[in-house]
Amino acid sequence: MRTLNLGILAHVDAGKTTLTERLLYAAGVIDEIGRVDDGSTQTDTLALERQRGITIKSAVVSFVIDEVTVNLIDTPGHPDFIAEVERVLSVLDGAVLVISAVEGVQAQTRVLMRALQRLQIPTLIFINKIDRGGAQYARLLQRISERLTRAIIPMGSTSGLGTRGALFAPYGADDAGFTSRMVDLLTGHDEALLTAYVNDESALSYRRLRGELAAQTGMALLHPVFFGSAITGAGVDALIDGIIELLPAAEGDTEGPISGTVFKVERGASGEKIAYVRMFSGTLRVRDLLQFGRDNEGKVTGISVFDRGSATRCASVAAGQIGKLWGLGDIRIGDTIGDSRTIQEHHFSPPTLETVVVPCRPAEKGALHLALTQLAEQDPLIDVRQDEIRQELFVSLYGEVQKEVIGATLANEFGIEVTFRETTTICVERPVGTGAAVETIYEEPNPFLATVGLRIEPAPTGTGVEFRLASEVLGTMPLAFFRAVEATVKKTLRGGGLYGWEVTDCKITMTHSGYAPRQSHAHQGFNKSMSSTGEDFRKLTPLVLMSALRQADTVVCEPINRFHLEIPADTFGATVSLLSRLLAVPQTQEIRGSSCTLEGEIPAARVHELEQQLPALTRGEGVLLECAFDRHEPVRGASPTRRRSDHNPLDREEYLLHVARRV
């Protein structure tokens, strides 16, 4: 039996969770369709999801149609949870992008479509809510063509649009317009097909055209469009047929090396960690010793595989399947398991906001840290940061709704009431030049039994931090000391550079090393005061690194978002003036009748102000259709600073007072 791992994606309230319910009902998995408003759906299982009527965490359910097992993954629709969506994209064979027939193409729809196209995920488009007043057909197809992709082909017609009796009728071989449209689109991507058509039109039978449509849809070159209603069931059978016919099922070698990726982590009833893994190759069995992440290893104590509804306990999970694994206490979202060479790397846009979480009851600071750490396991991009000196906890965010959800989750699941301080923008630092520093064992002012020399230099944007060893430092020093230096370098750079922001896009080379071998006084055992330990290297490294960074100097870079505005044409001048005050840069504009669209770039720190002022400036008609992170750029004007959360190796005296064991 083949397996198809299918994602359901949409802007919030487009109806994707209801569509999931309808698909499960059509497949016979459930006897009654749940309602989002009633909190009775199969995939919105969190209490908070039921309360708010939105999807927060991805959820997996399974059904079987025509000998194909479909693992259906329902994803969040709110832009604050885009990281959750992007993690799911890495495990999909295909996707259904749901669009409301009334609201049409919305901000998150465009973001999702761009991600699907970037990753070349085969995608069908389902236009939902054709039974609602104001539902569109031709006009909506035109908007999709303009705003999402021109490579679309409607798969049928509608009748009774905007009424409870609205229906969708799939096109067939007798529909000349549909056949002609297929020929035009398919031959545009296949030269051999075009040649065959030019030489003999009759050579392109309807059956061959459908086969080519499936092939090109599977290569993400075309996107068939279906219409229907998840509430009434109209068009859903046609969509199911399209899913089975047009989207490619998973392929993988069940006998090959074990390879997979973890896209979700949750806690079980007794607090145990459960990892959701998509298998790309091989077969993983209970009691197998598994390599995962960078250097972790663990024994799998339990496996569940999704089949005909929810997950059921199994002895193994094989290539193409999605399974739940028990027993891997150190596993995290994004970890690869087994052989990572067969897995494509995916980039997640970083969160650009940060806030301080404060417990309402001061005695719960420790419990709050533990709770946030568990939440970060489920979403690593939350990135919990602790200021050990001021005893403050920071979390990174994508938006204000995510902050509300974190607060509600802490209250509902952990019993911890919290407040949040004002949200601030997260910047980064990048080295400007090259710097080097060294401190040598037994030489002043170095109080540690270690020699560490480091050189820091800029690296291309987006490459992160690369640590390497110069050939001259390789020798007899224990490997554990080199690893201590590498781990401390990365931890220190995350803690902040010259202005307190995380340092990225740089190469760090260890140029000098040295240590004191294990020694002892006469007739005594190992003596720490005479011998180097990992602590010597961990405590000395931040001082050397900051000295090198001072020499290199850094520039503070702020997050820049791309925006897309739609405003009344007569408010163009006032809107451009506002954008100028907010340091935004309009790049393209298009005026169509009384409407004007603007695209450009804006500092992320100014987006909230734009959202606040736009309605008053445009008589309430201006809409920020899209605003998403694009890149980091050097700050214009004075560089903002952030307080360090460590013992500040930039101040040698202060640092040594806190960490040195021999001064």
Which sign, positive or negative, has the C-alpha torsion 306, 307, 309, 314? negative
CA 360/CA 349 separation, integer angstroms: 32
CA 116/CA 97 separation, integer angstroms: 9
Which of 13, 70, 4 lies closest to 217, judged by CA?
4
Pick the CATH number of 556-634 from 2.60.120.10, 3.40.50.1820, 3.40.50.261, 3.30.70.240: 3.30.70.240
Could you tell me the pLDDT band of residue 42, with boundaries at 50, 70 and 90? low
pLDDT value of position 277: 92
Q: What is the pLDDT of residues 559-573, one digit of tens each?
A: 999 988 889 999 999
Beta strands in 207-363 (DSSP E): 223-227, 259-267, 273-281, 283-285, 289-292, 296-299, 302-306, 311-314, 316-318, 322-326, 336-338, 353-359
Question: Which residues, other chains included, contact 163 with Cβ-Cβ below 8 Å and sequence gap of 6+?
Answer: 131
Annotation: CATH topology of 353-424: Alpha-Beta Plaits (3.30.70)
Could you tell me the pLDDT band of residue 45, with boundaries at 50, 70 and 90? very low
Written as one letter, the residue type at 266 is E
Do 602 and 582 meet the contact criterion of CB atoms below 8 Å apart?
Answer: yes
Do 96 and 19 meet the contact criterion of CB atoms below 8 Å apart?
Answer: yes
Instruction: Specify the CATH architecture of the domain 259-342.
Output: Beta Barrel (2.40)
pLDDT value of position 344: 54
The full length of the chain comes to 663
Could you tell me the pLDDT band of residue 160, with boundaries at 50, 70 and 90? very high
Asked whether the predicted pLDDT for residue 23 surpasses 60, the reply is yes
Asked whether the predicted pLDDT for residue 49 surpasses 80, the reply is no
CATH topology match: 2-246 vs 353-424: no
What string of H, E and C letters represents the secondary structure of 582-611? Answer: CCCEEEEEEEECCEEEEEEEEEHHHHHHHH
- Could you tell me the residue ranges of all domains in the chain? 2-246, 259-342, 353-424, 429-555, 556-634
Written as one letter, the residue type at 419 is T
Could you tell me the pLDDT band of residue 149, with boundaries at 50, 70 and 90? very high
Q: What is the pLDDT of residues 273-307, one digit of tens each?
A: 899 999 988 999 999 999 887 778 899 999 999 87
Annotation: CATH topology of 429-555: Ribosomal Protein S5; domain 2 (3.30.230)
Alpha helices in 504-622 (DSSP H): 534-552, 572-581, 607-617
Asked whether the predicted pLDDT for residue 50 surpasses 50, the reply is no
If one compares 405 and 372, the residue with the highest pLDDT of the two is 372
Question: Which residues, other chains included, contact 436 with Cβ-Cβ below 8 Å and sequence gap of 6+?
Answer: 453, 454, 455, 456, 511, 548, 551
Task: Supply the CATH classification number for the domain 2-246.
Answer: 3.40.50.300
Could you tell me the pLDDT band of residue 515, with boundaries at 50, 70 and 90? very high
pLDDT value of position 359: 94
The overall pTM is greater than 0.75: no
